[in-house]
Amino acid sequence: MKDVMTSNPACCAPDTPLPEVARMMEQHDCGCIPVVEDQDSKKPVGMITDRDIALRGVAQGKDVRSMSARDCMSTSVVTVTPEDSVDDCCKAMEDNQVRRVAVVDHQGGCCGMVSQADVALDTSGKVGQVVREVSQPTDSASNVPGQ
């Protein structure tokens, strides 16, 4: 994963105001920010996407200016390690039907992010399979939109 992942991703805390999270997405040209316990441990406790903000805030008529990452984030975080293979990452994406996974170091801190686009750039030829598997409808109530 270390060759495919985006290293040192921008991270926010659960109490980070949503406007600041949105600015981070704009500044870093990304649609997902890992939410970490604190900036020292960087232990992921959630993920927040632009879609999460739109669906859990704006679409519900909430004042997103007064909300924090905690209010919109998904609390399930799928992770891989830098040593995992692209195949391992694809399997994690498929099994959990997510489009992004956090890469965590040996201490459990977020050290990278991998998206479907990153996998697509890999020469393994797995992208079509991953997209099909991630996009399959599920009856599971635990499916989290936007990741």
pLDDT in tens, 100-138: 999 999 999 999 999 988 887 764 555 556 665 665 665
Q: Which residues does residue 12 pair with via DSSP β-bridges, in sequence order? A: 35
- pLDDT value for 118: 86
| Residue 121: C-alpha distances to residues 107, 125, 132 (Å) | 28, 9, 17
Domains and CATH numbers, the chain: 6-134 (3.10.580.10)
pLDDT in tens, 2-39: 889 999 999 999 999 999 999 999 999 999 999 999 99
Rounded to whole angstroms, how far apart are CA atoms 65 and 111?
29
pLDDT in tens, 30-84: 999 999 999 999 999 999 999 999 999 999 999 999 999 999 999 999 999 999 9
Rounded to whole angstroms, how far apart are CA atoms 114 and 77?
12
Between 56 and 1, where is the model more confident? 56
- pLDDT value for 117: 84
- pLDDT value for 100: 95
- pLDDT value for 143: 47
- pLDDT value for 142: 45
DSSP secondary structure code for residue 17 in this structure: B
